[in-house]
Amino acid sequence: MARAVLKALIFLTVSLHLSSAVTHSLQYIYTGVTPGINFPEFTLVGQVDGEQFDYYDSNIRNMIPKTEWIQKHEGEDYWSRETQRAQGNQESFKVNVAILMQRFNQTKGVHTVQLMYGCELDDDGTTRGYMQFGYDGEDFISLDLKTKTWIAPKPQAVITKNKWDPNTANNDYWKNYLEKECINWIKKYVSYGRETLERKVRPEASVLQKHSPSAEVVCHATGFFPKAVVISWQKDGEEVHENVELRETLPNQDGSFQKRSILTVPAEELQKHNYTCVIQHSSLEKELVLHVRGGGSDGGSDGAPVAIIVAVVAALVALVAVVAGIVVWKKKNSGFKPVPAKAASEGDSSSNNS
């Protein structure tokens, strides 16, 4: 019971946030991988509101614009500066991969060191910042902005924590950047791309039933913008939280997003009860309700276009290069090089070597 109440409260909080607030975000993702595979040894991706706006990898060795609005407003000096910073981070990550392989007693195989940091700004002025490092897709170390110390969930990360905690100047820098400067960059970038970043595109939605090995109903929303969306299930008008698998929100190639939720329910239950998928998004005047019938499904109650999409392989393939660098973490370990801090007046700011 307590679990169900908690989920309901979380759902309510997210729903209220969708209808009452606009959140803008700035995020950078760095990924270093072991050499010898058909993938760049280092990649850097910058995103505003989930939309990629710049990109660098160790093969092209240049920071390049990925949206018209950043290309229009920033000139050669900006891209030269960002390229030099990315090249420095590339060298640091190469060292860090070797250090962590040694720390985890690994001599071969494919391994990744990742860093993700950024900030968010709500329309009511609320701000949030974060900085996380990861190794092989798992949390390695993260910065606690309140205490300006590092959280080390693994024994191998304690070495890094003991090295980074005393570096108060660097920790102060990152707290200031993530809580203040990063927010200023959000405002600047949003002013550049306001027409794109503040657009509202309603989702296309569908429900699809699968009958083996167990009965599943998939509710899929795609083509929407901005990224925030809530997909929930109801049974005879009551919220359903059990046997629900909510997948991550993924980007489409056109800059919009997609998300799906899977409900596992016996076929006989579908015959006896009225199940619906409810989609809430800031582009919708009212929630979109899709009915699940005992022998099929139908579209949304508000007449939204329905596109039954069984697979999104093309979008996922296109995202491989980005997703490979999206699990984010990075750390400052003994020997692990910290990512160099950026000048306060510059854009992308992350450099901690482990």
Distances from the Cα of 103 to the Cα of 12, 151, 178, 348, angstroms: 44, 18, 29, 29
According to the model, what pLDDT value does residue 193 have?
95
pLDDT (tens digit, 9 = 90+) per residue, 90-135? 999 999 999 999 999 999 999 999 999 999 999 889 999 999 999 9
Q: What is the pTM of this model?
A: 0.73
Domain count for the chain: 2
Residue 316 lies in a domain: no
According to the model, what pLDDT value does residue 14 have?
42
In this structure, the answer to whether residues 96 and 226 fall within a common structural domain is no
Write b or e for each residue in 82-119: b if 16 or more Cβ atoms lie within 10 A of its Cβ, otherwise e: bbebbbebbebbbbbbbbbbebeeeeeeebbbbbbbbb
In this structure, the answer to whether residues 47 and 171 fall within a common structural domain is yes
The rounded mean pLDDT for the chain is 81
The predicted model gives 267-285 an average pLDDT of 92
Which helix (H) or strand (E) element contains residue 244?
strand 244-246
pLDDT (tens digit, 9 = 90+) per residue, 301-325? 333 333 323 333 333 333 333 333 3
In this structure, the answer to whether residues 139 and 251 fall within a common structural domain is no
The full DSSP string for 153-198 is -SHHHHHHHHHHTT-HHHHHHHHHIIIIIHHHHHHHHHHHSHHHHT
Nearest to 350 by CA among 118, 140, 168: 118
In this structure, the answer to whether residues 165 and 298 fall within a common structural domain is no
pLDDT (tens digit, 9 = 90+) per residue, 200-258? 999 999 999 887 667 899 999 999 998 989 999 999 999 999 999 999 999 998 889 99
Nearest to 299 by CA among 213, 202, 225, 214: 202
In this structure, the answer to whether residues 141 and 241 fall within a common structural domain is no
Residue 344 lies in a domain: no
Q: What is the C-alpha to C-alpha distance for residues 313 and 229, in angstroms, rounded to an integer?
A: 21
Mean pLDDT lowest among 62-76, 156-170, 215-229, 304-318: 304-318
Domain range for 251 is 204-303
Q: What is the three-class DSSP state of 297?
A: strand
Query: Which domain CATH number covers 220?
Result: 2.60.40.10
Whether residue 177 is predicted with pLDDT greater than 50 in this model: the reply is: yes
Residue 311 lies in a domain: no
In this structure, the answer to whether residues 35 and 145 fall within a common structural domain is yes
Among candidate residues 196, 230, 262, the one where a domain is terminated: 196
